């Protein structure tokens, strides 16, 4: 099997478990760390995806800092949106090119 899979948020436990399962089934898997692929940075995404050219993209990167909206720090809220929503759209859009 030559199917290539890219998993964002590659250092996390979920990404590593997915990677292990897919590799056991014969997939070629790239699970870049945040240092290798920042899902909020277009150039970083293009470099990671362009260099690997996956057949399948698993948007696994995520960020959470549990807090109420009343007590939310706006920078923290922005980070949530940029990673959890923006990262998914940015990576998918670039992967589909």
What pLDDT, on a 0 to 100 scale, did the predictor assign at position 66? 86
> Residue 72 has what pLDDT?
84
Residue ranges of domains in the chain, CATH in brackets: 4-95 (3.40.50.720)
pLDDT at 2 > cutoff 80: yes
pLDDT tens for each residue of 21-72: 999 999 999 999 999 999 999 999 999 999 899 999 999 999 988 888 888 8
Q: How many residues does the chain have?
A: 97
Q: CA separation (Å) from 55 to 20, 49, 50, 87, 92? A: 17, 10, 12, 18, 12
Residue 19 has pLDDT above 90, yes or no: yes
74, two tokens: 């706006």
Q: Is 29 helix (H, G, I), strand (E, B) or coil?
A: strand
């Amino acid at each position: 099997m030559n199917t290539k899979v890219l998993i964002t948020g590659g250092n996390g436990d979920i990404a590593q478990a997915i990677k292990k399962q897919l590799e056991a089934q014969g997939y070629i898997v790239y699970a870049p760390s945040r240092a290798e692929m920042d899902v909020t940075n277009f150039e970083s995404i293009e470099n990671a995806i362009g260099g690997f050219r996956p057949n399948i993209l698993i948007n696994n990167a995520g960020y959470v800092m549990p807090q109420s909206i009343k007590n939310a720090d706006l920078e923290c809220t922005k980070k949530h949106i940029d990673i959890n929503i923006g990262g998914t759209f940015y990576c998918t859009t670039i992967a589909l090119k």
